[in-house]
Amino acid sequence: MQFTNVIKAGMAMILVAFVSGFITSFSPDHVQSAAAEKVKWVKLKRKDLKFQARFPGEITTKTTEKEKLTTHKFNCTLHDVVYFIGASVHKVEMTDHENMAKISLESFAKTLNGEVDAEKEWILKGNKGMQAIINVPSMGATIDYRVILIGQIQYQVVLTYANDNPDYSSEMAETFFKSFKVKK
pLDDT of 141 higher than 70: yes
Dump pLDDT digits (tens) for 76-115.
Answer: 999 999 999 999 999 988 888 888 899 999 999 999 999 9
Domains and CATH numbers, the chain: 2-182 (3.40.1000.10)
Secondary structure, 3-state, 42-75: EEEEECCCCEEEEECCCCEEEEEECCCEEEEEEE
Are the CB atoms for 80 and 29 separated by under 8 Å?
no
Dump pLDDT digits (tens) for 39-77.
Answer: 899 999 999 999 999 999 999 999 999 999 999 999 999
